[in-house]
Homo-oligomer: A and B are copies of this chain.
Amino acid sequence: MSLLDIGEIARRTGVPPSTLRYYEEVELIRSEGRRGLRRQYDGDVLLRLSLIGLGKAAGFSLGEIAGMFGSDGRPDIPREQLHAKADELQRQILGLRTLRDALRHVADCRAPSHLECPSFRALLKSSARRPLIYRPSSGQSDRQLAPGRRGRAG
């Protein structure tokens, strides 16, 4: 089977070579070898990159995404994590709806100041206080990415 070199992968996926190298550095993908200097990738990485793209779209961090590939390399996404993410998306959707309505209100309302408009205030009241979505900043289920050599400056 023929390996694809990095430029080919980049062209097919739209993911720039620098990013591919970065992903490799943090062990999200791996290359099978070199032709001269050029990295050669197995066709599998195309699928893997789709998966990564999907994960990013869903709002997972690279660390979380890395955790979703079993040590054997094939995806093994825990179902409860998917549900949790779906719930988070749900909350995000609610927030977006509120924001959308707020925006439309602001665009149309003739009140001198929106802050004084009762319906605007009512709109916002629902979302005040607690964070609308849980932003995983340093999560517990977050696998540690390979750190590379970045930061070990001399």
List residues of chain A with CB under 8 Å of any chain B CB.
13-14, 44, 46-48, 50-51, 53-55, 57-59, 68-69, 73-75, 77, 79-80, 82-83, 85-86, 89-93, 95-100, 102-104, 106-108, 113-115, 121, 123-125, 127-133, 135
Contacts and interface: CB of A to CB of B under 8 A. Distances in A.
Given A85-B103, A132-B53, A115 B75 contact: yes
Contact of A121 (B47, B79, B82, B89): B47
Nearest to A125: B50
Contacts of A130: 14
Given A75-B115, A114-B73, A83 B107 contact: yes
Contacts of A14: 129-131
